[in-house]
Amino acid sequence: MLKGIIFDSDGVLVDSMPYHAEAWVKAFEGEGIVVFEEEIYEIEGSNHIGVVDIFFEKAGKEADNAAYSKLLRKKRAHFMEHNMAKPFDGMRECLQLLHPKYKLAVASGADRTIVTSLMEKFYPDTLDVIISGEDVSNGKPDPEPYLKAVAHLGVAKEECIVVENAPLGVKSAKNAGLYCVAVASYLKPEKLSEADLVFKDHKSLIDYLKGLADADGFQSEK
């Protein structure tokens, strides 16, 4: 029986990835590292440590502790200044419908300040647990973010599903042994093929989630 639903935030609940991508591009410019926004979409879900490691390695550089902190501050500052994110149409109403029946969580790779500010603004009083990229040692695709969310929700893995929109997030959920559905927010559906179900848009996802609430369960078959 379904008892918990864990959502990624950026790209699932909030249309915010363009602002994350732009902020990372600007942050890396100060290090003399050229990053394209499309590259950020490909690694969406990784926490700031993972993002820094990926692009420093591509540039033939090695990041130290000071670099992680500095880039996170620069990225966060740019995001908070230029952010014009908004919830995807229908998702706020969908979570309000789901919350009385299920425990709801967010597991995001973004830093705590950004995640909590977006969730408090757009989804107040609808989330039981928020896991940010700063709350884990290993970001997505490692299973830690979703395993931690499951533990905090206090449900069994078999009683929980994940809603994702990014390849690393899907991999994280599957590495954690969780049923995962995905919505093609920014990438083509085939990029999300490891998910158990893939929806072409948020309308299809919302219909599915509302169907779960009506049926009080979910199908585990692809």
- What are the structure tokens assigned to 65, written together? 């502790």
CA separation for the pair 155, 1 (Å, rounded): 11
CA contacts within 13 A on the Cβ side of 203: 0
Give residue 178's identity as a one-letter amino acid code. Answer: L
Instruction: Tell me whether the omega of the peptide bond preceding residue 18 falls within 30 degrees of 0, making it cis.
Output: no
Number of helices (H), then strands (E), in the chain: 9, 8
**Could you confirm whether 207 is annotated as catalytic?**
no
Q: Of the residues 8, 135, 142, 196, which is catalytic?
A: 8
Alpha helices by DSSP H, listed for the chain, are 17-29, 37-42, 48-58, 65-82, 91-98, 112-122, 144-153, 167-175, 202-215
Q: Which residues does the annotation mark as catalytic?
A: 8
